[in-house]
Structure 1
Amino acid sequence: MNEEAKESSVCKDMANGDRASVVIDQGLDNSEESSVNINMLMGTLINSSLGSINILSRHIWSESVVGDFPYIMSTMGAFSLVDPIIGGFKAGVAYVGRNHAGVQCGWLIAFANNSLGAVVYADCGPLSRFNIINWAQIEANLNQASYIAYVSDPMTGTSVYATVSGDASSGSVLTATFNG
């Protein structure tokens, strides 16, 4: 099985586990699990930097979301988020690692799939840019974003390409690549 197929399988398993967690959290019995109307987002993050990257910060605007992002990522990481409240997702994550020159850098994505539609925002650059992440400003940027984000920082040679598709009612898919 190739790496992408493994990650896809892991992501589906995570999503099914998150769905089961929602059923338990909401006090439903197992027979109701398949009829639960929840929002689900599955994501794949690809790391093309010098080595592993670690979460620097994360922010999930809805308190009802179940799931999380990969904490440490060498080449690829899968995640799923589930929200039992109809209304969609809004979340963001920043990673820290070294670019190909060995300099510490940051990569950030924020995404939503709700009344805004499917949108994603990205940023990257020197680690100093991410010492204090203003999630309120990130949210404002996200509110003006599109379903595709591309950003590059010429000083560090880092870049992020991200896209989100689908809709809040049928499920969403996010893919992001962190280069450097």
Structure 2
Amino acid sequence: MEDGLSSRALSYEEEVSLDELTKETENSSEFEDTVDAEIHGRDNYDIVVNGILKTQTHGPLEFYEQTIWAGDLTKKFPDPLEKQGFFTIKGNQPKGVGAAVVYNGKNSEDVECGWLLAFTDSDNNGGRKVIVDCGSLTKFENICWDTIEEKLIKFGKTTAIHEDPATGTKVIAKITVSPSGNGCTPDKDKVVATFYC
């Protein structure tokens, strides 16, 4: 597997599309259970990551594989990922949260492809980071999750992009934080990603 690291910065249009997805996490009813549990003290987490995944592919994407390095996935990664889907993962610092997911689907030439998103927010690992990768599905067979985590910790940034010219696939992602400001509820991270082909 390649390093999944950006060979270029996100374009203005890509940044805007991720910012729009980020705003959707603030107003989505998909996260009401999470907010209700925090307000009523039913969970003991100090970090919450709400995520929105969006597909701009030729059809729905199927869940392929995932790993959780740290935290608890309280709202599972969507399966299948139709147009848009949501997930929530919670954890406690300093270990924080860390996870990765791979989706598969076909490109316009009917080739099986894969899209990977890996993210972390961990005091132990240097804060908020994402990495992404995409390409032929064979690239994601027998994934070494330890290698993915090492790359995430060493090379991850708050935004990521990867394009695979051979398959025409692309993935962009971003991780941000919205401080609660009240000291009673945890800060909320947002992870957003869009998968293209």
Bin the TM-score by the shorter chain.
0.7 to 0.9
Return the offset for 1:117.
1.3
2:188 aligned partner: 171
| Aligned counterpart in structure 1 of residue 130 of structure 2, from 104, 117, 120 | 120
1:133 aligned partner: 143
Distance 1:5 1:170 in 2: 17
CA contact (8 A) 1:70 1:78 kept: yes
Unaligned stretches of 5+ residues in structure 2: 1-22, 180-185
Distance 2:167 2:26 in 1: 29
Distance 2:56 2:26 in 1: 16
Distance 2:97 2:138 in 1: 28
| Aligned counterpart in structure 1 of residue 161 of structure 2, from 146, 150, 157 | 150
Return the offset for 1:145.
1.0
Return the offset for 1:37.
4.8
Distance 1:45 1:101 in 2: 23
46 and 137 in structure 1: CA distance in 2 versus 1, 3 angstrom threshold: same
Return the offset for 1:12.
1.8
Identity, % of aligned positions: 28
1:23 aligned partner: none
Residue 72 of structure 1 aligns to a residue whose secondary structure is coil
Distance 1:79 1:37 in 2: 16
CA contact (8 A) 1:90 1:112 kept: yes
Unaligned stretches of 5+ residues in structure 1: 21-29
- Which structure 2 residues correspond to residues 59-78 of structure 1 after superposition, within 5 A? 59-62=67-70, 64-78=72-86
| Aligned counterpart in structure 2 of residue 79 of structure 1, from 87, 110, 113 | 87
| Aligned counterpart in structure 2 of residue 95 of structure 1, from 103, 112, 127 | 103
Distance 1:106 1:13 in 2: 31
Return the offset for 1:16.
3.4
1:48 aligned partner: 56
Distance 1:104 1:8 in 2: 34
Q: Deviations over 1:81-126 (max 9, x none)?
A: 122x333211000001111222110000100111211100100000
Distance 1:6 1:163 in 2: 13
70 and 10 in structure 1: CA distance in 2 versus 1, 3 angstrom threshold: farther
Instruction: Give yes or no for the alignment of 1:33 onto 2:60.
Output: no
CA contact (8 A) 1:11 1:80 kept: no
CA contact (8 A) 1:111 1:119 kept: yes
